[in-house]
Structure 1
Amino acid sequence: HYLMTEAGQEYGRIIAEEFARPLVDTQSAILKEGQAQGLFLETDPLMFYFHLVGACDYLFFGRATLDHVFGVQEITQDLKRRYVDHIYQTLTKGLAPA
């Protein structure tokens, strides 16, 4: 996060190209295939990427909220698993046709 926001645009470009682009390309291909098979609703790859990555990021960068609001001092394996299950259910139900 520091390199992408504070260390200059060149680092941000390199990190985005080497880490984010392959992930976005893969997610976009999965969404397109799922849509073609009627398994997913039409979904904007940009919105999907930021929804999923942002949700995953914030569990770890929101430690102050975890501690001071929820009384959680440690991100345990159980908490991670519960969070993954929650994100999975939210996304899969949100992508599924009615």
Structure 2
Amino acid sequence: MTTASEIAREGTLRAARRETARTALLNATAGILSEATQIEASLSEISRRSGVNSAMIKYYFGDKQGLLMALLEREAEREMSGLDALVAMDVSAERKMTIHVEGIVNAYYRSPYLNRLVHYMVEAGGPEASARVSDMFITPMMAAYRQIVAQGVREGTMVDVDPALLYYALVGAADHIFFAAYSVPTTLGVAKVDVGIKQAYATLLRDLFLRGLRPDKD
């Protein structure tokens, strides 16, 4: 006769197997998208890389769109979770902007498909998906920018710039070197962006944005 503890243990093992398979599918999809210039990942390739039967995509995520949304949600949880903590830090607005610029470049370096996936889900997922993406990424970033800029204005280190325009400028600049990875061999003379180039780019963007946000002393 099966005991209650054995049933509980089997349930725990099944849950662990489900989570392992689910994570493998997400990781495989992320790996494929990191190598591509478009949001293209076939079910067969995801299955091959993950070692999980492609039928499990429907079981865990409903369909490929559900898988992509789950990947985006995982990225949002990782990248957006620190924004509230950043805003609440007892440091200057310029220090917060420095941390954020370096963080967003690191995010695109780690997940170069991220901004493309955001746009894809907004365009292909319909109104509901668009609203979810906005709630995950755009709304928290806009809220953080408003507070950081307002603090910078109070401290006299930033002009009262429109947070929406700052969002477009910073996200566009941080993403483009990874979006345009095809051009890196021509522009930088290397096969791909490495850690050193990534850090140099983050430093350049930090300096450009901090200097550009400072009030004119004349």
Measured in 1, the distance between the counterparts of 2:125 and 2:185 equals 29
Q: List, as ranges, runs of 4+ consecutive aligned residues in structure 1 with deviation greater than 4 Å.
A: none
Deviates more, 1:81-90 or 1:12-21: 12-21
What is the identity percentage for the equivalent residue pairs of Structure 1 and Structure 2?
A: 26
For 1:35-74, list aligned pairs within 5 A.
Answer: 35-74=153-192
Measured in 1, the distance between the counterparts of 2:124 and 2:188 equals 30
**Taking structure 1 as the reference length, what is the TM-score of the superposition?**
0.88
Match of 1:85 in 2: 203
Measured in 2, the distance between the counterparts of 1:96 and 1:52 equals 15
Deviation at 1:11, TM superposition (A): 1.6
Gaps of 5+ in 1: none
Q: Which amino acid aligns with 2:185?
A: D
Deviation track 1:44-90 (CA, whole Å, cap 9, x = no partner) reads 11110011111111111111122344433211110110000000000
Q: Which has the higher contact order (CA 8 A, sep 6+)?
A: 1
Measured in 2, the distance between the counterparts of 1:8 and 1:73 equals 37
Measured in 1, the distance between the counterparts of 2:177 and 2:159 equals 27
| RMSD after superposition | 1.5
How many residues are paired up? Answer: 98
**Taking structure 2 as the reference length, what is the TM-score of the superposition?**
0.42
Q: Which amino acid aligns with 1:11?
A: A
Q: Which amino acid aligns with 2:203?
A: D
Measured in 2, the distance between the counterparts of 1:55 and 1:91 equals 10
Q: Which amino acid aligns with 2:140?
A: P
Gaps of 5+ in 2: 1-116
Measured in 1, the distance between the counterparts of 2:174 and 2:146 equals 18
Q: Is residue 2:128 matched to residue 1:15?
A: no
Deviates more, 1:11-20 or 1:62-71: 62-71
Measured in 2, the distance between the counterparts of 1:87 and 1:25 equals 21
Deviates more, 1:10-19 or 1:77-86: 10-19
